[in-house]
């Protein structure tokens, strides 16, 4: 099945009422083979704080915490996490989004790794890793995602200036010398290498990166996978790694997990027992996100009903108005007729 980025899963909405510090989360019950019983996980609604949800669900799958079915506020979830480790601070920062900077040296490396994850013994991973036999591994692994973007902009601007200087001939001999130094240092080749690598990161995943994640995670362990500005809870079962589906629109769906994506962004879906299932749940989820309010009532049906009532009201008013006009016209005609009759008589 084709890939849908996080922005497609959970579209941003300025009309979302329950986000940030006012966020509330519903739960979903599912069977979890590791515990041989049903558990409850947190669900994400629209552009809610996915990192907080991923942290809590990871702790659930690790067996560190459990919750009853219901609705929970963000502050309640944060309190429950801090009760696990009193030294965990900074969780409120994740309520309105959290930025991380993956390093290409390893699937587990991030610049300024979040301290609260370390204290909770939760590993954060990404799949933007070049192959061990990559021709330019030594160059690429020195960059992080952010430093790569900055370096590319710098090199491209420099290259543009150099080419312009070269086109002006002898008038810019000094610039020509800079050009010689530029090419002697192989910066032109660096642009090509980094551009190619950056293009490969359109989906923020490589097949090698996925294989590295699968190797380092232990059987029965849960971690957090970062991709496309989204944080997802992942779990290893029988040698395979699965991503927990937490979209609120799929609360009643048959699917509970999906595989990690390949370089093309494709993945497959699985039920609670990790059995592959043929379904396309996201179409339904996205439709539900558009048409369902947070209280579960169909917004489209309400709007249609309001529209219908409004149109009916207008129609009744128009009909009444037309009826009044006809009645008035009839009275005028009758009055005129009587006058004529009187004249004829």
21-52: buried (b, 16+ CB within 10 Å) or exposed (e) per residue?
eebbbbbbebebeeeeeebbbbbbbbbbbbbb
Does residue 125 surpass a pLDDT of 90?
yes
Query: Under a CB-based contact definition with an 8 Å cutoff, are residues 77 and 25 in contact?
Result: yes
Does residue 328 surpass a pLDDT of 70?
no
**What percent of the chain shows pLDDT beyond 70?**
66
CB-based contacts of 160, cutoff 8 Å, min separation 6: none
For 237-294, write each residue's pLDDT tens digit. Answer: 999 999 999 987 665 567 899 999 998 888 899 999 999 987 766 665 556 556 554 4
Q: How confident is the model at residue 116 (pLDDT cuts 50, 70, 90)?
A: very high
Top-ranked range on mean pLDDT: pick from 140-154, 158-172, 284-298: 140-154
Look at residue 82 in the predicted model and tell me its pLDDT: 96
Does residue 215 surpass a pLDDT of 70?
yes
∠ CA 327-330-331, rounded to 5°: 85
């Amino acid at each position: 099945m084709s890939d849908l980025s996080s922005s497609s899963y959970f579209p941003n909405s300025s009309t979302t009422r329950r986000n940030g510090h006012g966020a509330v989360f519903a739960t979903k019950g599912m069977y979890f083979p590791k515990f041989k019983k049903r558990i409850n996980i947190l669900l994400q609604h629209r552009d809610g704080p996915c990192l907080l949800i991923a942290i809590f669900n990871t702790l659930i799958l690790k067996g560190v915490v459990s919750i009853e079915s219901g609705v929970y506020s963000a502050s309640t979830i944060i309190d429950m996490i801090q009760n696990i480790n009193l030294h965990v601070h900074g969780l409120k920062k994740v309520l309105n989004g959290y930025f991380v900077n993956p390093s290409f040296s390893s699937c587990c490396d991030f610049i300024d790794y979040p301290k609260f994850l370390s204290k909770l013994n939760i590993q954060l991973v990404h799949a933007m890793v070049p192959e061990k036999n990559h021709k330019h591994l030594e160059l690429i692994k020195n960059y992080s995602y952010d430093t790569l973007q900055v370096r590319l902009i710098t090199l491209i601007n420099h290259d543009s200036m150099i080419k312009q200087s070269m086109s002006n001939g002898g008038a810019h001999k000094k610039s020509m010398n800079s050009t010689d130094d530029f090419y002697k240092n192989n910066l032109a080749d660096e642009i090509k290498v980094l551009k190619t690598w950056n293009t490969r990161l359109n989906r923020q995943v490589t097949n090698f990166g996925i294989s590295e994640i699968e190797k380092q995670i232990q059987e029965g362990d849960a971690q957090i996978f970062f991709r496309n500005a989204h944080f997802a809870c992942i779990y290893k079962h029988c040698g395979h790694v699965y991503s927990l589906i937490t979209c609120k629109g799929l609360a009643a769906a048959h699917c509970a997990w999906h595989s990690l994506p390949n370089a093309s962004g494709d993945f497959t879906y699985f039920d609670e027992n990790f059995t592959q299932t043929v379904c396309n749940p996201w179409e339904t989820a996205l439709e539900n996100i558009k048409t369902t309010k947070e209280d579960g009532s169909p917004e489209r049906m309400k709007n249609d009903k309001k529209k219908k009532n409004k149109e009916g009201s207008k129609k009744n008013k128009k009909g009444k108005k037309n009826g009044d006009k006809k009645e008035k016209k009839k009275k005028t005609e009758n009055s005129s007729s009587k006058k004529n009759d009187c004249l004829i008589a």
